[in-house]
Each structure stands twice: as structure tokens, then as C-alpha cells.
């Protein structure tokens, strides 16, 4: 490839960014022609080609790319020092290609119509509505916890392997699509990440590979949290990029699952978000509501807290800060805090569909 072509590709990054932001200001256009038009075709093709492979092809590709990038830096270090401008140009050329492919294969979904609009949900909720929903959620979670253990003080242990949870999660979408047809999930590609240990140290439960459309789940997660994360990552595959929306989809598919352990995982996870939101608003109300939880549920919450604490490290805040900036650059103004915005979706959805 000659220098003129390389320069052209590198410089194209700037007009690409301008074009993406301009198109992103027309969510109806994105929804119609990309999220419901081009993207499903690309996604289904990718999942058809790679979904049947039992391991993560995307993880292997990332590892190969990292290896060759590191090899290039070592072997070409003298040339890099001698021609620094060419090196910077090459970096921007790679970034330009990645930016183009990212938005073509998945990234334009950041600018689609919100799922709250599609489901005709209110955009906000009152504190009173939140408290009433949380009280009902506590009743349901206590009820399911006791139905499983027959002992309110006993921790719930989901008795399935990670592979079984993956399979049951896929089946859950077959149930959910009967209620919400646009969440149909065909040609599944849901896998355990080969990078589960690094993901844990980074503080992530999983990710969608936008280039291969494989949903990657951190296999080190406690089984108690694994079903919801599976649903969350499939939500990304279905073309929903906002983290609150995929948390919501993860809740819907897990709570609608016929399996009682999945229902418990969904209710308890939603409950943790709601209680956290209440604690930020009114600690006294939080303490009152938290006191109503069965002891077994509290033990499950502590299990998750202990898991993440065991992997705390100085680099985790750095990775989360990078991801926070990435989200803000892609139309999620709340950044990493958008995960917690699922509470509004939960409350307003259940105003129309009570628990």
C-alpha cells in the first residue's frame, strides 16, 4: 500500500466522525435503515458463520492482533524512532479502519430510538413509584428465595454449569419473543469469554465483540449473576447499545424464564439496582426496606460483593474510566452510570405490567 493511500485512509477518520455524529442526530433514520435494516442482516450472517463454534473466535482474533502489534513495535522500533510521523500516520490509519468497521457492524445502534419509546414507557419515575415497586420486588424475591431453599436464611446456589446457563438463557429468548416480538433472537452466538480472568480484573461481566457479533460472558462470575449478564450481552447483539437498555433486556428475559433459579437471579438483580437508587435518595428508607430481605438474599448480595473485592486492583479504575469515556463519546451522556438508569425502565415497565 503506497503512502498516498495510507494518508487518505488516516485522514478519513475526521470526516467519518463528522458523518457519524450528523447521522446520529436522526434517530428515526438510524432506526429504520440501520438498526432494523442493515444491522440485522450483518448480525445474522456473523452469528450464522461463527455461532456454531464453541469457543470465542473474536477473542482469538484480538489475541492475534495484539501479538502482531506487539511484534511490530519490537521489530520496527528503530524505524519508528527514525520516522515517527509515519508511525503516527499508521496508527491513525488503523483507527480509521476500526472506526469504520465498528460503526458498520454495530456502532450505529448507539444512535437508535430508545427502547422506552418503542415500548411507550414513561421516561421518568417518582420516588413513591420506586418505593412501591421495590416493596413488591422484595416480596417476590423473598417468595422465590424461600421456594428454592425452604429456609429464609439459606443462600441460593444455582445448580447449573455455565454451559447450561448459556443454553437456558437462549431458550429464555424463545419465551420472551412471544411477549415482545422485536426481541426475537435467532442464530445464537453466546459464549464464555477466553479472557474471563482479565475481564474480572478489569471489573467487567462481559462484552459484545462488534466485529464478530459474539456475545462474550465472563465465566468467572458467580452463577447467581450469570443469567442476567447473558441476557445483557444478547441485548447488545439484538442491536441495543445503551447499558441501561441491555440491563433491562437481561432482566426481562431472565424473569420471564420458566426456570425458578433464573427468576430469582432476575428479581434479586433488579432489587439491588432499586435499593441502590433508594439509598442515594433516602438512606432511612433504604435501611427500612433492606431489613425486610430474607437473610439468604443478603448472603447472595454479599457473595457478589466478595467476588469483586477479591479481584480489586489499582488498574480497575483506569479501565472503567476509559470505558466511561468511550460510552460518553458514543451518545451515552451518563457514561458508566447509565447501567443504574435501568431503574426507570424497570419501574415504568411494571406500572403497565405489574409483578
Give one DSSP letter per residue of 205-216, joined into a string. Answer: SEEEETTTTEEE
Can you give the pLDDT at residue 327?
60
Can you give the pLDDT at residue 335?
52
Residue 168 has pLDDT above 80, yes or no: yes
Lowest mean pLDDT across 57-61, 259-263, 313-317, 340-344 = 313-317
Q: Who's near 146: CB < 8 A, 6+ residues apart?
A: 152, 294
Are 264 and 159 contacting, i.e. CB atoms less than 8 angstroms apart?
A: no
Q: How far is CA 342 from CA 28, 228, 307, 328, 345, in A?
A: 23, 13, 23, 17, 5
DSSP three-state, residue 236: helix
Residue 324 has pLDDT above 90, yes or no: no
* Other beta carbons within 10 Å of 94: 14
pLDDT mean over 98-127: 93
Can you give the pLDDT at residue 199?
93
pTM of the model: 0.93
Please tell me what DSSP assigns to residue 39: H
Can you give the pLDDT at residue 48?
96
Can you give the pLDDT at residue 340?
62
What's the mean per-residue pLDDT of the chain? 92
pLDDT mean over 13-26: 95
DSSP three-state, residue 105: helix
Q: How far is CA 79 from CA 71, 76, 94, 95, in A?
A: 13, 5, 18, 20
Residue 339 has pLDDT above 60, yes or no: no
pLDDT mean over 81-100: 92
pLDDT mean over 194-201: 94
**Chain CA centroid to CA 40, Å:** 18
Residue 6 has pLDDT above 90, yes or no: no
The burial of 242, by beta-carbon neighbours within 10 Å (0-12 exposed, 13-18 middle, 19 or more buried), is given as: buried
Residue 319 has pLDDT above 70, yes or no: no
pLDDT mean over 284-311: 95
Can you give the pLDDT at residue 29?
97
- Edge-first strand listing for the sheet containing 190-192: 190-192, 214-217, 206-209
Cell numbers for 133? 415497586
**How far apart are alpha carbons 105 and 213 in whole angstroms?**
8
pLDDT mean over 174-199: 94
DSSP three-state, residue 217: strand
* Other beta carbons within 10 Å of 260: 12
Can you give the pLDDT at residue 332?
66
Q: Which helix (H) or strand (E) holds 192?
A: strand 190-192
The burial of 61, by beta-carbon neighbours within 10 Å (0-12 exposed, 13-18 middle, 19 or more buried), is given as: middle
Q: Which residues of 97-134 are buried (b: 16+ CB within 10 A; e: fewer)?
A: eebbeebebbbbbbbbebbbeeeebeeebeeebbbebb
More confident residue, 320 or 268: 268
Can you give the pLDDT at residue 331?
65
**How far apart are alpha carbons 152 and 30 in whole angstroms?**
48
Q: How far is CA 289 from CA 71, 154, 267, 275, 282, in A?
A: 56, 19, 15, 8, 11
Amino acid at each position: 500500500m503506497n503512502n498516498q493511500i495510507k494518508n487518505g485512509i488516516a485522514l478519513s477518520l475526521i470526516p467519518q466522525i463528522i458523518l457519524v455524529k450528523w447521522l446520529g442526530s436522526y434517530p428515526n433514520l438510524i432506526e429504520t435503515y440501520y438498526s432494523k435494516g442493515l444491522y440485522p442482516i450483518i448480525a445474522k450472517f456473523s452469528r450464522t458463520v461463527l455461532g456454531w463454534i464453541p469457543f470465542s473466535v473474536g477473542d482469538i482474533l484480538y489475541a492475534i492482533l495484539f501479538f502482531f502489534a506487539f511484534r511490530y513495535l519490537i521489530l520496527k522500533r528503530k524505524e519508528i524512532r527514525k520516522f515517527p510521523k509515519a508511525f503516527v500516520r499508521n496508527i491513525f490509519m488503523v483507527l480509521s479502519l476500526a472506526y469504520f468497521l465498528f460503526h458498520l457492524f454495530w456502532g450505529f445502534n448507539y444512535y437508535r430510538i430508545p427502547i422506552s419509546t418503542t415500548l411507550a414507557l414513561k421516561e421518568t419515575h417518582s420516588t413513591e413509584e420506586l418505593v412501591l415497586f421495590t416493596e413488591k420486588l422484595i416480596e417476590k424475591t423473598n417468595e422465590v428465595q424461600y421456594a428454592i431453599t425452604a429456609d429464609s436464611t439459606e443462600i441460593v446456589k444455582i445448580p447449573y454449569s455455565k454451559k447450561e446457563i448459556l443454553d437456558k438463557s437462549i431458550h429464555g429468548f424463545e419465551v420472551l419473543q412471544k411477549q415482545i416480538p422485536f426481541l426475537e433472537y435467532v442464530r445464537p452466538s453466546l459464549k464464555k469469554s477466553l479472557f474471563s480472568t482479565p475481564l474480572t480484573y478489569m471489573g467487567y461481566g462481559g462484552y459484545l465483540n462488534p466485529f464478530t457479533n459474539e456475545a462474550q460472558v465472563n465465566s468467572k462470575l458467580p452463577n447467581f449473576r450469570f443469567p442476567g449478564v447473558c441476557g445483557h450481552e444478547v441485548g447488545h447483539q439484538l442491536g441495543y447499545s445503551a447499558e441501561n437498555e441491555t440491563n433491562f433486556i437481561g432482566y426481562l428475559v431472565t424473569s420471564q424464564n420458566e426456570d425458578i433459579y433464573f427468576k430469582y437471579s432476575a428479581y434479586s438483580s433488579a432489587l439491588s439496582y432499586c435499593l441502590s437508587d433508594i439509598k442515594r435518595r433516602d438512606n432511612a428508607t433504604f435501611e427500612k426496606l433492606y431489613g425486610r430481605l430474607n437473610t439468604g438474599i443478603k448472603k447472595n448480595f454479599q457473595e457478589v460483593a466478595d467476588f469483586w473485592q477479591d479481584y480489586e486492583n489499582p488498574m480497575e479504575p483506569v479501565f472503567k474510566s476509559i470505558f466511561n469515556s468511550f460510552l460518553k463519546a458514543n451518545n451515552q451522556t451518563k457514561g458508566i452510570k447509565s447501567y443504574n438508569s435501568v431503574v426507570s425502565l424497570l419501574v415504568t415497565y411494571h406500572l403497565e405490567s405489574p409483578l
